[in-house]
């Protein structure tokens, strides 16, 4: 049985699913998915504490095991390259991540892989940008994807704060 809990953040309420050994999902939802328990396991409690510390500006690197679920080898390679090599306050283009991951995925394909990331923020897909701007972002509250991405990058110091 997996555990589900939420943390309030400046970009909305964030839900986290833990199976007790790894974080399996990070979402912008406050209602528990089916087949989850709202009694937190110790890993879920740690994940919620780390997310709160991140949003409070006290944490720059997550120390949590993640489970990416069923993914192709290519998707897993791209997400792990992102997770392991793109730090707080850094950005990388879609094409740069393709090269760094050692895959032959074109930039557009990297964008699709970012959208398949089951643990955003912890595996920081918000740090992957287009060569000519922010690119897309499927995280955040409905309709708030790019605003959420901008806020996360400003919070990490990767973008100057917006004037409005």
Task: Round to whole Å and give the CA distance between 107 and 37.
Answer: 38
Task: Round to whole Å and give the CA distance between 50 and 106.
Answer: 33
CB 112 within 8 A of CB 121: no
Catalytic residue among 47, 97, 105, 125: 125
Is position 86 annotated as part of the catalytic site?
no
CB 147 within 8 A of CB 6: no
Strand ranges in 10-140 using DSSP code E only, listed in sequence order: 12-18, 23-27, 36-37, 92-93, 128-129
- Active-site positions read 125
């Amino acid at each position: 049985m997996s555990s589900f809990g939420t943390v309030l953040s400046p970009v909305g309420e964030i839900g986290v699913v833990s199976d007790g050994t790894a974080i399996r999902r990070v979402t912008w939802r406050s209602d528990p998915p089916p087949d989850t328990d709202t009694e937190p396991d110790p890993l879920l409690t740690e994940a919620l504490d780390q997310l709160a510390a991140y949003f409070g500006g006290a944490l720059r690197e997550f120390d949590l095991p993640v489970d990416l679920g069923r993914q192709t080898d290519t998707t897993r390679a791209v997400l792990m390259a992102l997770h392991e090599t793109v730090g707080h306050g850094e950005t990388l283009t879609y094409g740069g991540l393709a090269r760094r991951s050692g895959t032959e995925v074109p930039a557009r394909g990297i964008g699709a892989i970012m959208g398949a990331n089951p643990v955003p923020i912890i595996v920081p897909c918000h740090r992957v940008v287009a060569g000519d701007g922010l690119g897309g972002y499927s995280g955040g509250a409905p309709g708030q994807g790019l605003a959420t991405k901008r806020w996360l990058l400003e919070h990490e110091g990767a973008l100057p704060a917006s004037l409005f």
